[in-house]
Structure 1
Amino acid sequence: MAESKKKDLLADAKNFCDGLSNVFMLKKRDPQTRHLLEKAKLLIENLISENQRATSNVTSTPRGSRSAGGMGQLWVKLDELKRENEELRKHAGKPVDDRPSIPPKPSQGPGDVIIADLHKTKRENEALKAKLEKLETKIKEMDSVALSVQDEYKRAKVALETTQRSMETVLKDYRHMEDDLKLAKKESESLKQKLAKTMLPIGRTDNRLAENISEKCRPSNIAQLYNTLESQEWVDAKETLEEITDFEEEDIVQFLCACVMASFQSCKEVYNALKATIAELIRKPTLVVNDTLVGERNGKSKLPDDMTDIIGHQLRQHFDDIDSDVIVGMMCEKLTLEFTEFVQRHPHENKVVQKFMNRCAKVTWQMVIQHPPMWLSVDDHEFDDEKHKLWWSCDQAAANRIDFFVWPALYDYKRGNLLMKGCVFAS
């Protein structure tokens, strides 16, 4: 009876060993499984060899009596779980053979190792399933975000196409406007040329409304000349008078300012005399043969407005032909009463001072022949920062009353718009 049991046990062991060999052939790519199969096969072969050599009864372990069929079912179950584990790992994006090879403990048998591996595989399987569910949820969220982004992209694309069409329309309109502007400029230039060629002005010309840019002699250009007169010829004349005379600086600057005003008054007299003479000639043409023609101005005659405009236009065309020496002579006569000592020394004979006086005559003549005439003023008595600038030696904080003008203020007409501030000495 004992021999029969031993033979059955040896047969079971051989069958189990053969089953392990078959499983080994199937699972040879898995390092952990290969290790377990090799260990189990070695143990069974050692047990068989010990039973063949031993003469005494060998006590078998409770687990050794398990049939090869029961162990095969465990191997099949383990194989299914591992395949499922591998599929989950593929879905999770992890490599299949990333688990470390853990050798079995020496005290455990092959069945215990297989059962432990089975439980471990189940746990990994559950963890991978949970991770897979999270990934699927995240993929769904990403899909919804992608759909919203696609919708937004479609809307943005439609808006961009609409904007491009609008921009093309605007560009076309802009090109049409450019063409219209060029055409308008050409028409404007042609009209300006026609107006410049017209000798008789249409209606009354008034520089308070608009300047005639075809005329060189116009208020804006005159203001620039007046500024240059102050910054160049006036400075040279002042320095020269300081060198050739022993007068104080205050007396010199007052004299130069008086020169400008005397030139302005003289030019007005010449212009008014010209208009009165022409008016008298029209009334009495035979006076042209009379040498006392200039004296025949009794104020009874006055030129019509349209004729005054024509004369002013012609004078502005030939403004540079004025004989400035005659006006300088008139200036000296006016200055004799107030600046007798200066005039007695004949400052106009000095080349620098003479240049200043002649420039004053030419610039103020251009002021007078405007319509209406421009205006120089030295009539203010109270300092006003908007109309006056202080002489360098004055105290800005204490400036109140104007003692004298160093340089007259320039207006586009009497009581009109200020073009240049007057320089004053104020205390």
Structure 2
Amino acid sequence: MSIERSNKTISEKCKLMTKDALSFKKRFTETDSVLQCLSQMYTALTKEDYEDDWKETKTVSQKDKGKSPTPISHVKFVIEDVCRKISRSSADAVGERCRKHIDQLKETNKQLEEEKMTLLTRLSKFAGANLTDNNPNIADLSDPNRPTKLAEEYSELYDNEWTNAYECLQKSKKSEEDIQTILTNIIKEAYSVCGYIGKRQDTVIRSELLSPGDSYSNETLDKGSQTRKKSARQSAPEKSKDTKDKSKGESLSAVQSKTISELRKQTVTSSASNVISYFKTHPQFKEWFATSSLDSYSVRCIKICWLMNIQNPPVYMEKEVKPGSEFDTSKYKSYTKAGKKLAFVVWPALFLHEGGAILTKGVAQGK
């Protein structure tokens, strides 16, 4: 009887142990699945394979000291390890993204700063052009041929070359009045011709920029080659006397006009030489270069007058003064004789522009 009872007890314990074993197996299988799932999640989040350090770790919590490692504690370790690694990886990823974003913002800021400086430069240039274009009251101190400097050269011309030419003409036994008339007419005529050439140059440049096709309106095409009936240089000035394209009603902006003015000043050395050559080869002005003294005087007159006329607006020379008019001491100095009335002009007065302030006084004979 006791043996049967003992066998029954053993049988029941075996059943319980089998049940516990099956339960452990199930829990172990589930644990393994959880571990695999955690490993897959880690790989998906970090793009890296998860390395299980459970067997190598020697870290045991205070609570688990003295106990054997279990599947549950393994899962617990893996969960904590995965969370730690993901957190660190996420922090690195976030930091990298932040660094890239900061670099992008810096690059964008640099581009915006460059655009800002470009726009400020353009705005400053536009404002400056609007302020100075055709405004002689604002002097360009960087221009070596600005009106005040031209006035100084104009005075030096009278003191030096004019005097030398006067002494040279005295040897030809001409009267004092005739000599003064010859020298005065040279400076006046040079100013007038340079003024015409300067206006024509400005008109041609503006016309070509606004309506280049008009220069070729009188041209024909002959077997693929152009045959001119009339040159563009001859036809362009006849199109218009102003700066507007009358066919379209367009005109150059202040910045564009300023650019043309600056270009004409920058090429003044070549253009002045060309204008001087024009005078020297034209029969009308042959007598201006008859002697070396007259040649030096005439050449300098032409050069200064050309420089006057490419200013914007041109420096103004008072050429027409009626004899017998009031002697204006604010404009003229006496030559050899003072008086309330003006007899004749020896050296014309110079003004900043027509109707503007006087740059240098002229010389006139009083009576």
Q: TM-score, normalised by structure 1?
A: 0.46
> Greater helix share, 1 or 2?
1
Residue equivalent to 2:332: 388
- Alpha carbons of 1:417 and 1:331: their partners in 2 closer, same or farther (altered >3 Å)? farther
Task: Give yes or no for contact 1:410–1:419 (8 Å, CA) kept in 2.
Answer: yes
**Equivalent residue of 1:226, what SS?**
helix
**Equivalent residue of 1:425, what SS?**
strand
From 265, 276, 288, give the equivalent of 1:325. 276
Residue equivalent to 1:236: 164
Report 1:255-294 matches (<5 A): 255-281=182-208, 282-285=210-213, 287=215, 290=228, 292-294=231-233
The one-letter code sitting in structure 2 at the alignment partner of 1:369 is I
Residue equivalent to 1:310: 259
- Alpha carbons of 1:324 and 1:302: their partners in 2 closer, same or farther (altered >3 Å)? closer
**Equivalent residue of 1:263, what SS?**
helix
Q: Indicate whether 1:371 and 2:312 are aligned.
A: yes
Residue equivalent to 1:181: none
Give the superposition deviation at 1:298: 2.4
Report 1:164-243 matches (<5 A): 202-205=129-132, 206-243=134-171
> Could you tell me how far apart the structure 1 residues matched to 2:147 and 2:242 are?
26
> Could you tell me how far apart the structure 2 residues matched to 1:402 and 1:316 are?
37
- Alpha carbons of 1:201 and 1:327: their partners in 2 closer, same or farther (altered >3 Å)? farther
Residue equivalent to 1:400: 340
Give the superposition deviation at 1:260: 0.7
Task: Give yes or no for contact 1:391–1:406 (8 Å, CA) kept in 2.
Answer: yes
**Equivalent residue of 2:137, what SS?**
coil
Task: Give yes or no for contact 1:207–1:219 (8 Å, CA) kept in 2.
Answer: no
Report 1:20-419 matches (<5 A): 202-205=129-132, 206-243=134-171, 245-281=172-208, 282-285=210-213, 287=215, 290=228, 292-296=231-235, 297-300=237-240, 302-303=242-243, 304-306=252-254, 307-321=256-270, 322=272, 323-329=274-280, 333=284, 346-380=287-321, 381-392=325-336, 394=337, 396=338, 399-419=339-359
Larger radius of gyration: 1
Task: Give yes or no for contact 2:280–2:289 (8 Å, CA) kept in 1.
Answer: no
- Alpha carbons of 1:425 and 1:331: their partners in 2 closer, same or farther (altered >3 Å)? farther
Q: Where does structure 2 lack aligned partners over 5 or more consecutive residues?
A: 1-120, 217-225, 244-251
The one-letter code sitting in structure 2 at the alignment partner of 1:259 is I
> Could you tell me how far apart the structure 2 residues matched to 1:305 and 1:369 are?
18
Q: Give deviations 1:16-61, integer Å, cap 9, x for gaps.
A: xxxxxxxxxxxxxxxxxxxxxxxxxxxxxxxxxxxxxxxxxxxxxx
Q: TM-score, normalised by structure 2?
A: 0.53
- Alpha carbons of 1:374 and 1:285: their partners in 2 closer, same or farther (altered >3 Å)? same
Task: Give yes or no for contact 2:129–2:258 (8 Å, CA) kept in 1.
Answer: no
> Could you tell me how far apart the structure 2 residues matched to 1:422 and 1:283 are?
42
Task: Give yes or no for contact 2:194–2:302 (8 Å, CA) kept in 1.
Answer: yes
| CA RMSD, 1 decimal | 2.9
- Alpha carbons of 1:208 and 1:251: their partners in 2 closer, same or farther (altered >3 Å)? same
Task: Give yes or no for contact 2:350–2:359 (8 Å, CA) kept in 1.
Answer: yes
- Alpha carbons of 1:201 and 1:366: their partners in 2 closer, same or farther (altered >3 Å)? farther
